[in-house]
Amino acid sequence: RAALLASVGHLPSETTDGHHIELACNIGTPGDMEKVIAAGAEGVGLFRTEFLFLDKTSVPTEEEQVESYKAVLAAMPDKKIVIRTLDAGGDKQLPFIGGLPEANPALGLRAIRLCMVYQDVFKTQLRALLRASVAGNLHIMFPMIATVDELLNAKALLKEAAEELTQEGVPFKSDVAVGIMVEVPAAAAIADILAEEVDFFSIGTNDLVQYTMAADRMNEHVAYLSDYFQPPVVRLIGNVAKAAKKAGKWVGMCGEMAGDPLATPLLVGLGLTELSMNGRAVPVVKHRIRQLDIKQTEKWADDILGLRTAADIKKRLEEIASAYE
Ligand code: PEP
Ligand code: MG
């Protein structure tokens, strides 16, 4: 891996026919930015901001949040930094919001749903994000969107936050890109409708697999279903990529699948143009991208969309990979 990093670290993430596939990193704290830069990544595709909230006894203040977001943006001021708004609830309970007993937390008051109940907490985060936007190239991303109304409500609150700051004379960038995670099958099914209302999509395969297969991502008894190579998952990814392309929006991926080099030819062939992963995976995926021809990957992807099982898809991708080792 170190040798791979040394050989491709400084080279562009480009296919043999010159298509750029942006490679970014997933981070949890501003301290992770050193690793992002060392990995030769081009930015941040997912900053999971819940880590700022998790080890606290109260909601972090607007000032504290501005500091953290600015630190991440300023570490790579001319690169794309996608910051996800709070994804609490579900398996990430916070002591100060939510925490109501639920029979099915993964299907309950989580992420954007929780934020729309605790709007003061959400608004504070949105204000902090806008205030931090002056430090770099901020992209705001909402998690767990399932309906167009959820997206419109979140955007309306962002607009309110912007209007407040304008009134207060606080500077912020007025052209911050706004996107959503596609991690609920409902969103994948209406990707064409949602695409009209966003600047970008980022596919979260960890939850998209869980909700598509109706299999708890932590439950070992149903682990055989928790596989991003399951045909329904692959087809949903294809559907999202197609809808985004038609609307002229970019589509990336920030779930675990994005960092799996076995999946790279398929994801490139389906039309994804950004992949966000753990820093360690960046050189490995870049190495693979630099071997691929776009037209060829599109043919493979078409063919793979017709396969019947996850095992068939994996076998096909292993055949493809073996030609490149
Ligand atoms: C995902 O669901 O794929 C994702 C990236 O979000 P998280 O793992 O934080 O739920
Ligand atoms: Mg998720």
- What is the per-residue pLDDT for 51? 87
DSSP state of 250: E
CA distance 60 to 129: 13
Write the residue with the smallest CA distance to atom 3 of ligand 1. Answer: 204
Ligand 1 pocket test target in 25, 48, 251 with most atoms within 8 Å of CB: 48
Q: Is the pLDDT of residue 97 over 90?
A: no
Ligand 1 pocket test target in 82, 113, 141, 181 with most atoms within 8 Å of CB: 181
| Amino acid making up residue 161 | A
Percent of the chain scoring above 90 in pLDDT? 89
Instruction: Give the confidence band of 162 by pLDDT, cuts at 50, 70, 90.
Output: very high
Count of CA atoms in the C-beta half-sphere (13 A) of 108: 16
Instruction: Give the confidence band of 5 by pLDDT, cuts at 50, 70, 90.
Output: confident
Instruction: Tell me the pTM.
Output: 0.97
Kindly report, residue by residue over 111-135, the tens digit of the pLDDT: 999 999 999 999 999 999 999 999 9
Q: Is the pLDDT of residue 55 over 80?
A: no
Cross-strand pairs, 253: 203, 275
Instruction: Give the confidence band of 29 by pLDDT, cuts at 50, 70, 90.
Output: very high
Count of CA atoms in the C-beta half-sphere (13 A) of 257: 28
Average pLDDT (81-90) is: 94
- Tell me how far apart the 2 most distant CA atoms of the chain are, in Å: 60
Q: Is the CB of 48 under 6 A from ligand 1?
A: yes
CA distance 256 to 198: 23
Kindly report, residue by residue over 240-292, the tens digit of the pLDDT: 999 999 999 999 999 999 999 999 999 999 999 999 999 999 999 999 999 99
Average pLDDT (78-100) is: 88
The chain-wide mean pLDDT, for the chain, equals 95
SS (H, E, C) 159-176: HHHHHHHHHHCCCCCCCC
- What is the per-residue pLDDT for 175? 95
CA distance 114 to 148: 16
Q: Do residues 194 and 180 touch, judged by C-beta distance below 8 A?
A: yes
Cα-to-centroid distance, 95 and ligand 2 (Å) = 20
Residue spans of alpha helices (H) in 169-224: 185-189, 191-195, 205-213
